[in-house]
Amino acid sequence: MKNHKSLIKENLYKSFKFTFEQELLDEIIEIGTYKKIAKGQMFVDIGDEMTHIPLIVKGVIKVIREDNNNDEILLYFLESGGTCAISFANCINIKQSIFRGIAEIDTECILIPVNSIEGWLVKYRTWREFIIDSYHERLTEMVEAIETVAFLNLDDRLTKYLLNEVKILQKKELQITHQEIASDLNTSRVVISRILKKLERKGKIELGRNVITIINL
DNA sequence: ACATTAAGTGATT
DNA sequence: AATCACTTAATGT
């Protein structure tokens, strides 16, 4: 157990040392649990009961919404130093997740049980600000997602998607299939392949099997 | 060598 | 932009 606690402490400090006051950091170390999520593994599914809130320490979680016809759409990414404030509301009231979260790359997080977090809202100013900030960020990202779908054509959406992917993963070589992109953008693989080919002919990207290299988008 | 999966492309709606 | 139908290429067993 001592190892577990020091593991939490070490990683908590890496991403949240300047976010929270010492007392709160201590409490998190006391009650948190550490979890690793391998790339591609599902972290929460729609309808899952939310019992914990994650503090992302390392990696990226892709957050997706799926409708009844299994059509899914990419909403936003959670990065290290972040959390999902939506899950916060889910925990207190609704108790069921309305989104699906999948590890985009190998990801590690600290889980905090729900019953602790409510009291922290009044007890700690930094926690309050953290939660509200997170809400604001999520809302902003979702508005942007709506704008993208509503106002951009697929070519531009794809370009934006690729650039965002580069930013999130810190890599110019994206290990991704056309089908995966198509699912994220809720379109068909053939269409994505065609647009990608077009971009390649313009010299903006390079295509390979399971890999897309961004040259100058 | 064979099966499976990813990607490219013309034709049709 | 979506779907179908087919081909080609890469990878796994």
The predicted-structure confidence for A131-180, as pLDDT tens digits, reads as follows 999 989 999 999 999 999 999 999 999 999 999 999 999 999 999 999 99
What's the CA–C1' distance between A133 and B13, in Å? 48
Q: Is the CB of A188 under 7 A from strand C?
A: yes
Q: Are A64 and A75 in contact (CB under 8 A)?
A: yes
Q: Is the CB of A191 under 7 A from strand C?
A: yes
Question: Phi, psi at residue A113, to the nearest 5°?
Answer: -65, 145
Using the CA of A189, give the nucleotide whose C1' is nearest. B7
pLDDT at A47: 87
Residues near A40 by Cβ (< 8 Å), separated by ≥ 6?
A102, A103
pLDDT at A2: 57
Using the CA of A158, give the nucleotide whose C1' is nearest. C1
Of A13, A45, A60, residue with least CA distance to A32: A13
Rg (CA), chain A: 19
Question: Phi, psi at residue A107, to the nearest 5°?
Answer: -130, 145
pLDDT less than 50: residues of chain A: none
- C-alpha A45: how far from chain center: 13
Specify the pTM.
0.87
pLDDT at A94: 60
What's the CA–C1' distance between A159 and B7, in Å? 19
What's the CA–C1' distance between A207 and B2, in Å? 27
pLDDT at A82: 83
